[in-house]
């Protein structure tokens, strides 16, 4: 059978000792899980003596496929040994043994999560529409498709891209209010008193065990107990085919709290498309709440990247975006409002609704950009919404490297990281502002200074000349450290930036020619997403934990940057201007005389 579906999310499970990719998708109101058991994990081995190394690998490993092939490493064609395993856990189990073999110089691409590898290699792009073809299964593994109203399709050929932009996602925001009379809420002690829900499909309500004046009847939904409150909330999500659930600090507060209270009240929170429970994904020191096929976006994390503020409270972020004050009830007084009832209880209902409505508004404002980023980077929205911008750029580059047949660089070891951390790059040129009131000012800005320098000077680790060679015109030489970059061929990262900037200009042209305001807006969001990504690429050189870390490249970029801004300031003096303030890629100048 064939179906057009939108890919929402991805994971893999083990079935008969084989990895099976599951693509959680939707076709309108119908949940569809696409199954693909044809993908297996691999890594690359580099050896000075490939044939001897293959013998060693043969001896060491069972159930693997070993093949010699040519791949590029920093643009140099090299022979690598590709080792293909039957299961990701097998790869992880044997990784260190392979690395330790005498004939092995290094292993590569051994730390790329299986589902991400799948998305890149098969060019499957989350949050896009695809045509899927395969056999419909009645059930698969532990999953009961009757019970969970989900269709399972076992893919029999590659997904086909459908050239149509899909943006009609069903979004729901939620927020808990808790009765915490003794300081911060304690999930073992303090009950949930309200669950606010707002959506872009008509449901806006506050579920609560209390009710007060009839004026709040249109949005307060009274239930008999906390248990029923949680159950009602779970039913709303399950019955309304929600694609994206958003909260504010929900990774850290709402979901953990809800799960604790659900446990105490013996309620199933089986919100996953396959009937599975909410799970916590370990992410360094914090957790992320995740459900299969229901994308949870914590807007707090998104907003920290989206705008620069001194604080990121919901109130502050909302004010910044919409210029309106939110209804406020101080956290430490919520229990009093609840206990006192009457007008105060009504205020609390209003506050709860205001919180979720604001959260939804913020989601509608910021998700389009994140959806575009998701599609450009080619990784799940759940992941992308939690990645630092540098990581977004890195995963984008990993995917580009695959298309260029490049083997991606390994991340630096931790001891190197410490050393590299100590290295301090000078950064952009800053001229402290000349204090006072100035007249006749002009402003000067370089357009995308760092991306432009990377492209024009071809700054990339694969074309950096390490040896002490004489320059006879074939290199770009940095102004301060005499770092030499070959003029040809184009470096990997300059070529990627070049490509995406060209794509940005193409979109801008399309925008100009476009008459439909909705389409125009969508194109604008696309080009903004690309601009963000291009501007982040410079950062990729400066952070030791990233694969393309290169202190030399970072130094070269900023040194050229300083040269250009100083040159521009000097040139302006010839026309009677005097710079009164400068920072990195622009300056303000005062007209003094002709």
Report the candidate in 13, 53, 48, 50 with the shortest Cα–Cα distance to residue 34: 13
With respect to DNA, which residue has the nearer C-beta, 176 or 522? 176
Judged by CB, which is closer to DNA: 224, or 308? 308
Segment 92 to 151, residues that bind DNA, using CB under 7 A: 92, 95, 109-117
Q: Is 314 in the site for DNA (CB under 7 A)?
A: yes
Using the contact rule CB under 7 A, the part of the chain among 212-220, 248-256, 451-459, 476-484 near DNA is: 248-256
User: Residue 198 Cβ, how far from DNA at the closest point, in Å?
Assistant: 13
Q: Is 354 in the site for DNA (CB under 7 A)?
A: no
Residue 196 phi, psi (nearest 5): -90, 140
Q: Does 308 bind DNA (CB under 7 A)?
A: no
**If residue 85 lies in a helix (H) or strand (E), which one and from where to where?**
none
Q: In this structure, are residues 50 and 79 in contact, taking their beta carbons and an 8 Å threshold?
A: yes
- 313 forms part of the interface with DNA (CB under 7 A): yes
CA angle 484, 490, 495 (to 5 degrees): 120
* Beta bridge partners of residue 493, listed in sequence order: none
Least Å distance between CB 368 and DNA?
22
Alpha carbon distance 220, 232 (integer Å): 13
Chain length of the chain? 594
Site membership for DNA, residue 294 (CB under 7 A): no
Count the residues of the shown chain that bind DNA, applying the rule CB under 7 A: 54
306: contact with DNA by CB under 7 A: no
Q: How far is the CB of 112 from DNA (least distance, A)?
A: 5
Instruction: Report d(CA 189, CA 212) in Å as an integer.
Output: 25
State yes or no: residue 176 binds DNA (CB under 7 A): yes
To DNA, the closest distance from the beta carbon of 441 in angstroms equals 29
User: Considering only residues 177, 226, 274, 354, which one is a binding residue for DNA as defined by CB under 7 A?
Assistant: 177
Task: Name which of residues 393 to 422 contact DNA (CB under 7 A).
Answer: 394
**Residues 192/257, Cβ–Cβ less than 8 Å:** yes
Distance CA 412, CA 407 (A): 15
User: Among 157-165, 226-234, 326-334, 498-506, which window interacts with DNA (CB under 7 A)?
Assistant: 326-334
Judged by CB under 7 A, the residue of 202, 214, 284, 517 near DNA is 284
- Min CB(329)–DNA separation in Å: 8
DSSP string, 426-472: --S-EE----S---SEEEEE-TTHHHHHHHHTT--GGGEE-S----S
Residues 53-92 that bind DNA (CB under 7 A): 88-89, 91-92
CA distances, 589 to each of 449, 546, 565 (Å): 19, 38, 12
Q: What angle do CA 263, 267, 269 make, to 5 degrees?
A: 90
Tokens of 441: 């000012």
For residues 42 and 581, which CB has a smaller minimum distance to DNA in the complex?
42
* Residue 576 in the binding site for DNA (CB under 7 A): no
> Beta-carbon neighbour count of residue 426 at 10 Å?
12
Does 331 engage in binding with DNA (CB under 7 A)?
Answer: yes
Cα(88)–Cα(411) distance, integer angstroms: 19
Buried b / exposed e over 142-165, threshold 16 CB at 10 Å, is: ebebeebebbbbbbeeebeeeeeb
Exactly one of 228, 260, 315, 583 binds DNA (CB under 7 A); that residue is: 315
Binding residues for DNA (CB under 7 A): 12, 41-43, 88-89, 91-92, 95, 109-117, 175-178, 180, 183-185, 248-249, 252-253, 281-286, 300, 311-315, 330-332, 334, 355, 383, 388, 390-391, 394, 543, 545
């Amino acid at each position: 059978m064939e179906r057009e579906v939108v890919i929402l999310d991805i994971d893999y499970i083990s079935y008969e000792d084989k990895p099976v990719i599951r693509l959680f998708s939707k076709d309108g109101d119908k949940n569809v899980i696409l199954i693909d058991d044809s993908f297996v994990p691999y890594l690359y081995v580099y050896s000075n003596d490939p044939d001897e190394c293959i013998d060693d690998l043969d001896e060491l490993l069972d159930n693997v496929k070993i093949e010699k092939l040519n791949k590029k490493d920093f643009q140099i064609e090299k022979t690598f040994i590709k080792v293909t395993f039957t299961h990701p856990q097998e790869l992880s189990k044997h990784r260190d043994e392979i690395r330790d073999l005498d004939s092995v110089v290094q292993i590569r691409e051994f730390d790329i999560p299986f589902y991400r590898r799948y998305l890149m290699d098969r060019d499957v792009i989350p949050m896009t529409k695809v045509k899927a073809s395969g056999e419909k299964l009645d059930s698969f593994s532990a999953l009961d498709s009757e019970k969970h109203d989900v269709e399972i399709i076992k893919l029999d050929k590659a997904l086909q891209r459908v050239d149509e932009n899909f943006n009609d996602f069903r979004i729901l925001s939620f927020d808990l209010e808790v009765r915490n009379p003794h300081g911060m809420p304690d999930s073992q002690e303090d009950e949930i008193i309200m669950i606010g829900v707002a959506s872009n499909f008509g449901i806006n309500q506050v579920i609560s065990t209390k009710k007060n004046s009839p004026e709040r009847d249109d949005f307060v939904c009274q239930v008999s107990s906390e248990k029923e409150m949680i159950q009602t909330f779970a039913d709303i999500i399950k019955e309304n085919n929600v694609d994206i659930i958003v909260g504010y600090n929900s990774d850290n507060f709402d979901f953990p709290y809800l799960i604790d209270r659900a446990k105490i009240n013996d309620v199933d929170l089986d919100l996953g498309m396959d009937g599975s429970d909410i799970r916590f994904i370990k992410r360094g020191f914090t957790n992320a709440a995740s459900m299969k096929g229901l994308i949870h976006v914590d807007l707090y994390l998104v907003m920290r990247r989206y705008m620069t503020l001194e604080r990121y409270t919901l109130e502050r972020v909302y004010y910044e975006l919409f210029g309106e004050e939110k209804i406020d009830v101080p956290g430490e007084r919520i229990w009093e409002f609840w206990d006192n009832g009457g007008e105060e209880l009504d205020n609390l209902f209003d506050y709860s609704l205001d919180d979720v409505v604001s959260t939804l508004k913020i989601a509608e404002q910021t998700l389009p950009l994140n959806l575009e980023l998701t599609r450009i980077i080619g990784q799940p929205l759940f992941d992308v919404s939690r990645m630092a911008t540098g990581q977004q750029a890195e995963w984008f580059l990993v995917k580009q490297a695959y298309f260029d047949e490049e083997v991606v660089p390994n991340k630096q070891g931790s001891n190197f990281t410490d050393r590299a951390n100590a290295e301090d790059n000078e950064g952009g040129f800053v001229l402290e502002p000349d204090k006072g009131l100035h007249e006749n000012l002009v402003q000067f800005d370089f357009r995308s200074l760092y991306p432009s320098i990377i492209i024009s000077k071809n700054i990339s680790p694969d074309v950096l000349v390490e040896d002490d060679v004489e320059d006879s015109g074939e290199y770009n030489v940095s102004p301060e450290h005499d770092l030499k970059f070959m003029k040809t061929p184009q470096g990997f990262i300059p070529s990627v930036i070049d490509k995406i900037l060209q794509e940005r200009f193409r979109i801008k042209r399309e925008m100009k020619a476009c008459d439909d305001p909705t389409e125009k807006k969508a194109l604008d969001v696309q080009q903004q997403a690309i601009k963000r990504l291009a501007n982040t690429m410079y950062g990729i050189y400066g952070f030791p934990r990233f694969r393309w870390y290169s202190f030399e490249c970072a130094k070269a970029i900023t040194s050229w940057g300083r040269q250009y801004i100083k040159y521009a300031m000097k040139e302006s003096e010839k026309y009677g201007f005097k710079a009164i303030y400068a920072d990195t890629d622009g300056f303000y100048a005062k007209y003094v005389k002709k």
